[in-house]
Structure 1
């Protein structure tokens, strides 16, 4: 296979799955969102994945989804590319409307949700048929991606679906949640030489997936220490020993996701001054989340800072910044 559009080669590196900050009355907090976007970009991320599960898209109306996506695109203002989903509907007609509307927001690529393409008891053939049909509904001016979102259930793509998407010339972005290095290696071979880029969501397999030919990271931990993922994706070849140590830390740190995400991430964003509150439509703040989670996150970040210093990553970044001036 050969790439059909060299302009799509930028779908590599780190693409945070964006949080949505809310006010106390659960309206979108636009000021906090601006600070979050600047924080991501300041960390050197290569793109942003807006209106995804971490954005609580299943708890947004269609109107809110589009307003959120437009706001991100407008505020980013070309600093990095933006992909977005909002693909939450059940009926194919409604899904087509959502994808078409998202395409009009100025995004780089529109992201389909794999579990919207077939129910858990439907075959891979059904999924592929609906994937092809929806592809025809998306305007040619934007790329297309697929996210194997785990909510409301995880639907992994078959090799046939990955191969079809890669060969179509329309697909640029696969947010992979298989968490299996053998599957990632196989998929990397299937998309080689095409516009379809694989962004691994799983920290534990990330380094090995990069070695296998996958293209980057798009996972929840970029809401805690995106700069470390940026360093890993950009430097793993040149400094393999440091990359192995950093990968080991990131793999363990990623267990933070189990601590009532997205509240743990919103609590951290509040602590560093980006968010005014940790309000969420998916989790009650007075529920399971507790002070011991906050303490654990702080310790995880602190250890990451020690690892960064031990490996000399901060010094390298500063040298690169000065050299670029």
Structure 2
């Protein structure tokens, strides 16, 4: 295999934050805050960006907003890192095809389909695979394709047949895996071995073991808090396995911050460091019980991570 082939295979490896969408006081997209967020991710060494996903509140954006959001991320990133995006939210298949084709025209590296859009919860895996093939044929050949097991409005895990077909098709580059099951991750890694398809694990508790099994990186919500630690883990777990084990234990525990009314807690953190002007979401109201825990829990958890980095003697961006 040539160096060029190796580069192509590694292109979708690493840490891919699931991007937040900042809003103004009137719940319009806050483009200046989004610029700061993109710069913040990249300064911390991430390998790519997953724009227009569930963390971006894509189900609460109009088609026009969705397209504008993806195009803005691609243009502002300006090739510093690759960008993949979804915006695949419609129910009707013809509308879905229109959404995916429009997203493909924004300059993204790959267009990401949402698994639960292709079949309802009561439809069979066979129906899902057939629709997957039909929808893939609707996407322009000049852009990569990916899949995301988005848990909203329901989680549809990929059957082995679909994973295998995607790997063999030559079209697929990226799976955002939310199965949270190490045995399944190991099986999927075997199914895609040698292909251009990459598995980005969203589950913080299984990332290190999934890397050992042949998966390719992390694309989860905690990259909105301390992406630099995930970058170090993904880049150094082979060369410094003892330190990686300790860091992984911390990251697994820190990932429990996700339970504090995400994405509000992540936006609250981004506001605290000066990237966002509000913590407003379209998906849920701010305030309530959990809001009282954001500042102290997030601050102390991240401070512990900084201390651990110091104790381990590792260098992060």
TM range (shorter): over 0.9
Matched residues in 1 for 2:235 and 2:207: separation? Answer: 13
1:222 maps to what in 2? 223
SS where residue 194 of structure 1 aligns?
Answer: coil
Matched residues in 1 for 2:250 and 2:288: separation? Answer: 29
1:239 maps to what in 2? 240
Matched residues in 2 for 1:244 and 1:172: separation? Answer: 28
Q: Post-superposition shift, 1:9?
A: 2.9
Runs of 4 or more above 3 Å deviation: none
1:172 maps to what in 2? 173
Matched residues in 1 for 2:95 and 2:314: separation? Answer: 47
SS where residue 146 of structure 1 aligns?
Answer: strand
1:120 maps to what in 2? 121
1:252 maps to what in 2? 253
SS where residue 198 of structure 1 aligns?
Answer: strand
Q: Deviations over 1:117-171 (max 9, x none)?
A: 1110000001000100000000000000000000000000000110010000000
Q: Deviations over 1:152-191 (max 9, x none)?
A: 0000000011001000000000000000100000000000
Q: Post-superposition shift, 1:292?
A: 1.8
1:97 maps to what in 2? 98
1:35 maps to what in 2? 36
The correspondence of residues 151-162 of structure 1 with structure 2, limited to 5 A, is 151-162=152-163
1:307 maps to what in 2? 308
Matched residues in 1 for 2:287 and 2:150: separation? Answer: 26
* Conserved 8 A contact 1:263-1:278: yes
Q: Deviations over 1:97-135 (max 9, x none)?
A: 000000000000000000001110000001000100000
Consecutive unaligned residues in structure 1, runs of 5 or more: 319-325
SS where residue 261 of structure 1 aligns?
Answer: coil
Matched residues in 2 for 1:151 and 1:8: separation? Answer: 30
Matched residues in 2 for 1:59 and 1:290: separation? Answer: 22
Q: Deviations over 1:176-209 (max 9, x none)?
A: 0000100000000000000100000001000000
* Conserved 8 A contact 2:37-2:275: yes
Q: Output the TM-score relative to the length of structure 2.
A: 0.97
1:63 aligned onto 2:60:
no
Matched residues in 2 for 1:49 and 1:290: separation? Answer: 26
2:111 maps to what in 1? 110
Matched residues in 2 for 1:30 and 1:140: separation? Answer: 30
SS where residue 137 of structure 1 aligns?
Answer: coil
Consecutive unaligned residues in structure 2, runs of 5 or more: none
Matched residues in 2 for 1:30 and 1:23: separation? Answer: 9
Instruction: Count matched residues.
Output: 313
